[in-house]
Amino acid sequence: MKVQGVILMAIYFSLAYTQLIKGQPRKDCQTRCGNITVEYPFGISPDCYYPVPGDDSFYFTCEKEKLFFGKNLPIINISHSGELRILKAISYSCYNDTELTDQDYYTTTLANFTLSNKNRFTAVGCNTYSVMTKMKEDVNYSTGCLSLCDSLPVGNGLCSGDGCCQTSVPQGSQRFVIRSNRFNSQRSINGFNPCSFAFLVEDGMFNFSVEEDLLSLRNVRKFPIVLDWSIGDKTCEQVGNTSICGGNSNCFNSTTRNGYICKCKPGFDGNPYLLDGCQDIDECTSSIHNCFGTSICENTIGSFYCKCPSGQDLNTTTMSCAIPNKTPKQEPKYLRWITTVLGTIIGCLLILLVVSCIQQRMKQQKNTELRQKFFEQNGGGILKQRLSVAGTSNCDVKIFTEEGMKEATNGYDESRILGQGGQGTVYKGILPDTSIVAIKKARLGDCSQVEQFINEVLVLSQVNHRNVVKLLGCCLETEVPLLVYEFITNGTLFDHLHGSFFDSSLTWRSRLKIATEIAGTLAYLHSSASIPIIHRDIKTANILLDENLTAKVADFGASRLIPMDKEELATMVQGTLGYLDPEYYNTGLLNEKSDVYSFGVVLMELLSGQKALCFERPQQSKHVVSYFASATKENRLHEVIDGKVMNEVNQREIHEAARIVLECTRLIGEERPRMKEVAAELESLRVTKNKHKWSDEYPEPKGIGLLLGVEILSAQGETSSTGYDSIKNVALLDIEAGR
């Protein structure tokens, strides 16, 4: 007995936990108010409705057998398919021959509900104009309706402009004002039209009558309107198995607004928001089945089937039963002929099967050889060798198959392209476990990209940092190599500062946080990685932001590992115009101070909101470093700082950041601070007002005209990357670079 009691208690707590997780109502909830059924997710008492954080939209009040929501808005119908019908008053203005005598207009706030496109904005009256204004944040949108007539209109039923007009309403409205008015030059027409009316009404629920509506529409008072509702603001894919949809139901994305709704599966009926709300429909007793004649309907869970009496077969066309026709016996010669034909067919099929198996095996062998060829061609051997030399990796690099990459990108569909640049194309990929990734594909036939891809795998295999885009794996058995990264949802820092498709306004707190995270990441790469790493292409286009505006450093194709016994390397110059260290450009010697310079340019962009290169500025200020240095020298730094971030509170922090910028962009690399010092300075700006300074003086940058390393000849504003061969002393321009 004790064991049974423990089992029953376990079952009870399990059911209670499931009910809690799904957000189910109490069992004793009141479900009717007058003649209206009120079921979950709605409710009229505590713990009986779906709780929306910060909003009680699903909570209604029942007073004197009448159902209300909001500020006493009467409810007349609730649908589980995402609709709610309420009654709403009209707006009117009444006149005598000389002046306004009576007026009423309303402002409505619908909380978490929105107007459906099934409503019509209607105006009734002669010489009438009515306006509906949708209010969203600090912006208003208006639509209106106009009706002009010199005499009493003729005809009823149609609201087509003669004394009555209708127009559609903006879908998704949550707060709006409706007003009616009349032109001042026309008050009333022979007394038959003293008032102008404006109101919302469900489509098809208002029939215009000249005699009644022009004179006494105000007596009607209220009309039905339709509101849309849904659960939350996420899609079914985003909520997954945490949706509140019950058993035998499916989740559907709302087609009218954000969020989702639940529907019972075919063959079930009831409330899909309750755990056991959708119950099986007995099609055999509800005349839904199509069994005909002598066939008998047999109900099943979620469906039915038609059963025939013994000895009869079901005709699936008519769904009726009939006695099958008996096939007459064949003569022995026909049997022998059939046996011969069948034997021949089977023999041919066996031969075709053997040939097909051989061809399939040869094809598999050929594909294996081709994949091995691509693996070697894409640097698989080099990658293995370098990884073994570099030591144990900090990340587990997964090897993906060619078929898996095709499925993830829908055959490399153009709609999946996230961006294109000098190092290839980046696609949005969806793996079999529904996780979203970014897949970078090198340019077809560009052998120079293979080395950069292998270098990126090598570099990222040594990095394990939360502000570095994580490398998940690679695929080298395709014609061009593929790299698979975590998917960052919020675009690049360049998009937020300069892009036209982002509605982004970064605050100073956000910009300082982003700058601190970038600096900390570079300090880690320079000083704390197992092998020091120089990124060599730091720019706003290579800084990704997630949904929390956390910075993620990306695109390590140009990066270099620095041996522990060396402080700099002689390499071919590579980087992006505007961000490229002039000392590195002139000498071809790469060290960590090159990244410091590039970071200084990025910090300038965060402070000023200006692009690194802007050919619309004067000749001496086309480069943001020149622009910034000139403004600082002439004591007009406030003109350079982005107006969106400057205020009285943060002026000291911004001036400190400007000082850091000038130190990072000094022409001589030895005079620049290390990234550890930069990161510490920026972190101190975030946590304390007592900031440590590297120096008390701010040396003015010299040789601003040489900051780019080459004279700016183009009149366009496109970013260019530059390469420099230190052996041949020749500058090479590659217009398309980076992501």
pLDDT digits (tens, 9 = 90+) for 574-600: 788 889 999 988 988 888 999 999 999
Give the domain range for residue 311: 281-325
CATH of the domain at 308: 2.10.25.10
Q: What is the pLDDT of residues 46-64, one digit of tens each?
A: 889 988 777 788 999 999 8
Angle at 102 between CA 99 and CA 103, to 5 degrees: 110
392 shares a domain with 315: no
159 occurs within a structural domain: yes
CATH of the domain at 511: 1.10.510.10
- Residue 731 in this model has a pLDDT that exceeds 50: no
* Residue 348 · residue 342 · CB < 8 Å: no
pLDDT for the residue numbered 668: 92
- Global pTM reads 0.46
Greatest mean pLDDT range, 64-78, 146-160, 243-257, 566-580:
243-257
pLDDT for the residue numbered 719: 36
619 shares a domain with 476: no
569 shares a domain with 594: yes
35 occurs within a structural domain: no
pLDDT for the residue numbered 279: 93
- Residue 295 in this model has a pLDDT that exceeds 80: yes
d(CA 658, CA 638): 11
| Cβ neighbours for 122, distance < 8 A, ≥ 6 positions apart | 145, 159, 164, 165, 166, 197, 198, 199, 200, 201, 206
- One DSSP character per residue, 16-49 reads HHHHHHHTPPPTT---EETTEE--TT-BSSTTSS
pLDDT for the residue numbered 229: 92
pLDDT for the residue numbered 501: 57
Q: What is the pLDDT of residues 658-686, one digit of tens each?
A: 999 999 999 998 999 999 999 999 999 88
Q: What single DSSP character describes residue 734?
A: E
240 occurs within a structural domain: no
Choose among 221, 170, 214, 172: nearest CA to 199. Answer: 221
How many CA atoms are closer than 13 Å to the CA of 100, on its beta-carbon side? Answer: 11
Three-state secondary-structure class, residue 598: helix
428 shares a domain with 290: no
Q: What is the pLDDT of residues 393-439, one digit of tens each?
A: 545 677 788 888 899 999 899 999 988 766 678 899 999 998 999 99
Domains contained in the chain, number: 4
Q: Which helix (H) or strand (E) holds 402?
A: helix 402-408
* Residue 442 · residue 480 · CB < 8 Å: yes
CATH of the domain at 450: 3.30.200.20
576 exposed, middle or buried (CB, 10 Å; 0-12, 13-18, 19+)?
buried
User: Helices 592-608 & 508-523, crossing angle to 10 degrees?
Assistant: 180
| Cβ neighbours for 171, distance < 8 A, ≥ 6 positions apart | 114, 115, 116, 117, 228, 256
Q: Out of 201, 228, 255, pick the residue that ends a domain.
A: 228
pLDDT bucket at 715, cuts 50 / 70 / 90: very low
For residues 461-485, give the mean pLDDT.
83
Pairwise pLDDT comparison (58 vs 723), residue with the higher score: 58
Rounded to a whole number of angstroms, the CA Rg of the chain reads 37
596 shares a domain with 540: yes
Distances (CA, A) of 257 to 82, 307, 524: 10, 45, 44
Residue with tokens 């000249």: 210
User: Omega of the bond prior to 41 within 30 degrees of 0, cis?
Assistant: yes
Three state DSSP letters for 460-472: HCCCCCCCECCEE
Q: Out of 186, 207, 228, pick the residue that ends a domain.
A: 228
4 occurs within a structural domain: no
Three-state secondary-structure class, residue 380: helix
Q: What is the pLDDT of residues 19-43, one digit of tens each?
A: 444 567 888 899 899 999 999 999 9
pLDDT for the residue numbered 171: 76
Q: What single DSSP character describes residue 297?
A: E
- Residue 176 in this model has a pLDDT that exceeds 50: yes
Query: What sections of 222-331 are H helices per DSSP?
Result: 236-239
d(CA 431, CA 473): 12
Q: What is the pLDDT of residues 508-557, one digit of tens each?
A: 999 999 999 999 999 998 988 777 888 888 999 899 999 899 999 988 76
Distances (CA, A) of 76 to 64, 510, 723: 14, 47, 72
426 shares a domain with 298: no
Q: Tell me which of 65-74, 133-142, 274-283 is least confident.
A: 133-142
d(CA 647, CA 667): 31
d(CA 282, CA 303): 8
658 shares a domain with 544: yes
Angle at 559 between CA 450 and CA 392, to 5 degrees: 85
Residue with tokens 């522990």: 564
Q: Out of 325, 360, 395, pick the residue that ends a domain.
A: 325
Q: What is the pLDDT of residues 205-250, one digit of tens each?
A: 888 887 777 777 766 678 999 999 999 889 999 999 899 999 999 9
362 occurs within a structural domain: no
39 occurs within a structural domain: no
652 occurs within a structural domain: yes
The single-letter code of the amino acid at 587 is T
For residues 178-191, give the mean pLDDT.
65
Greatest mean pLDDT range, 260-274, 278-292, 445-459, 678-692:
260-274
479 shares a domain with 504: no
Average pLDDT of the residues of the chain: 78
d(CA 575, CA 536): 6
500 shares a domain with 418: no
391 shares a domain with 288: no
Choose among 478, 447, 483: nearest CA to 556. Answer: 483
Residues recognised as catalytic:
537
471-475 and 398-399 strand pairing: parallel
| Cβ neighbours for 453, distance < 8 A, ≥ 6 positions apart | 378, 379, 423, 424, 440, 442, 474, 481, 483, 557
210 shares a domain with 115: yes
The single-letter code of the amino acid at 584 is Y
pLDDT for the residue numbered 446: 54
622 occurs within a structural domain: yes
460 shares a domain with 424: yes
Supply 329's token pair: 């016996």
Residue with tokens 């949708």: 134
